[in-house]
Amino acid sequence: MNIIHYEGQGFYIHGEDKEILAELEYKRIDNILIFDHTEVSEKLKGQGIAGKLLDEATKYARENNFKVKPVCSYVVKKFESGEYDDIKAY
């Protein structure tokens, strides 16, 4: 399963017919990425896909010295773990 990053937009998984099967979208303001939308299609539910998208997105943030403002409810919940405190924008 290939995660594609469209700079300034988000991280996506496409199906064979190019439909979007999963997405974690963000907006960039200066050095802050606002993670504002995560969605996984019914076809991929229950496979940990949202977590894989988040892993890829946070890896990108760390590698590029971005901070992350979690807005999407999924990301907000994940950020409560403390695992992402190094990149969390307060």
pLDDT of residue 5: 98
Domain boundaries defined on the chain: 4-79
34: part of which helix (H) or strand (E)? Answer: strand 32-40
Q: What is the pTM of this model?
A: 0.94
DSSP string over 13-24: EE-TTS-EEEEE
Burial class (CB in 10 A: 0-12, 13-18, 19+), 88: middle
Q: Is CATH 3.40.630.30 what the domain over 4-79 is classified as, yes or no?
A: yes
Local structure of residue 69 (DSSP, 8 states): E
Q: Which residues pair with 10 in a beta bridge?
A: 6, 25
Q: In tens digits, what is the pLDDT along the chain, a chain of 90 residues?
A: 799 999 999 999 999 888 999 999 999 999 999 999 999 999 999 999 999 999 999 999 999 999 999 999 999 999 999 999 999 997
